[in-house]
């Protein structure tokens, strides 16, 4: 009887310990499975930690990338602290016996003040960094080497090289091509004769709306030779999906040759920018 009594008192205790280990084992297996899947997918650390943006192809793109990565660092810090507190509370205050109820606390003024003030400071900090970087990215200093007027129209793109008095324009069968010299600051002016479009080159880490009756502008310095896709990022109508273009960043001598080729092909002068003071031809008229 003594032996059976000891066994009976020990059995439930051992079963309780085994049951308490099961969630921890399941969590460890889940984390291991996720880590294995990530490693097998071939993702880089930046892609895993920051869900990273494309490598910037302009000098100004690094500002956007740093802001993005900084926001993710702050998010991960908050997540780690939050997850740690949740796990600690679940373990430290778990119910050890069926009849046991952990201490219940309805109000704790210091904690409530803490989780109100800390998020407020975090939001203000993110706002400050965003406002600072936005003002730097959108600054127009008018010290550019080249000025390009981007004309977004239904359903293609035209590019006026204002300093060179030449233009390039897309057709229904061939997307527009924008050629830029490497390491030279470019001022973009954005105009439209019809509806709102959005000029977006993902590798530039920048986009801006093209609005009828309004001239938006910004400056960028492409610093990597290459070919980059561009598109309209505003749902502008039935053929929005066809508003694609290509940006080609080339050495200066190749850019000069491209401008000479445009003029040799009869593409001298300028497209209508879409502003009311224009007296040029609309892009559609030039492509018929």
In this predicted model, what pLDDT tens digit does every residue of 84-128 receive, in sequence order? 988 988 888 777 777 777 677 778 888 888 889 988 999 999 999
Alpha-carbon gap, residue 94 to 92, rounded angstroms = 6
To the nearest whole percent, how much of the chain has pLDDT over 90?
51
User: DSSP state, 195?
Assistant: S
Give the pLDDT of residue 130: 93
Give the pLDDT of residue 13: 52
Please state whether the peptide bond connecting residue 139 to the residue before it is cis, i.e. omega within 30 degrees of 0. no
Average pLDDT estimate for 160-189:
93
More confident site: 57 or 94:
57
Average pLDDT estimate for 204-225:
94
pTM of the complete model: 0.74
Q: Quote the crossing angle between the two packed helices 109-138 and 61-92, to the nearest 10°.
A: 170
Q: Is the pLDDT of residue 276 over 70?
A: no
Question: CA–CA distance from 236 to each of 190, 191, 197 (Å)?
Answer: 15, 14, 6
To the nearest whole percent, how much of the chain has pLDDT over 70?
77
Alpha-carbon gap, residue 118 to 258, rounded angstroms = 56
Give the pLDDT of residue 7: 47
């Amino acid at each position: 009887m003594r032996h059976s009594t000891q066994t009976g008192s020990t059995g439930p205790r051992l079963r309780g310990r085994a049951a308490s280990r099961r969630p921890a084992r399941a969590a460890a297996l889940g984390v291991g499975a996720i880590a294995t899947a990530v490693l097998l997918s071939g993702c880089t650390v930046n892609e895993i930690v920051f869900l990273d943006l494309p490598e910037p192809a302009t000098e100004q793109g690094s500002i956007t990338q740093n802001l993005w990565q900084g926001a993710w660092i702050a998010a991960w810090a908050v997540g780690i602290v939050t997850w740690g507190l949740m796990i600690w509370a679940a373990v430290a205050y778990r119910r050890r016996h069926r009849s046991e109820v952990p201490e219940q606390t309805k109000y704790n003024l210091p904690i409530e003040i803490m989780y109100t003030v800390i998020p407020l400071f975090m939001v203000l900090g993110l706002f400050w960094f965003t406002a600072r970087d936005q003002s730097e990215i959108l600054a127009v200093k008018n010290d550019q080497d080249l000025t390009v007027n981007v004309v977004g129209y239904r359903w293609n793109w035209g590019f006026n090289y204002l300093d060179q008095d030449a233009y390039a324009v897309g057709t229904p069968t061939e997307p527009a091509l924008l050629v830029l010299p490497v390491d030279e600051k470019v001022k973009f002016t954005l105009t439209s004769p019809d509806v709102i479009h959005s000029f977006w080159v993902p590798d530039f880490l920048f986009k801006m709306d093209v609005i009828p009756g309004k001239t938006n502008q910004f400056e960028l310095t492409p610093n990597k030779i290459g070919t980059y896709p561009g598109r309209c990022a505003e749902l502008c109508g039935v053929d929005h999906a066809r508003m694609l273009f290509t940006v080609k960043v080339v050495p200066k001598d190749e850019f000069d040759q491209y401008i000479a080729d445009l003029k040799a092909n009869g593409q001298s002068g300028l497209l209508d920018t879409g502003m009311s003071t224009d007296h040029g031809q609309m892009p559609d008229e030039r492509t018929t």
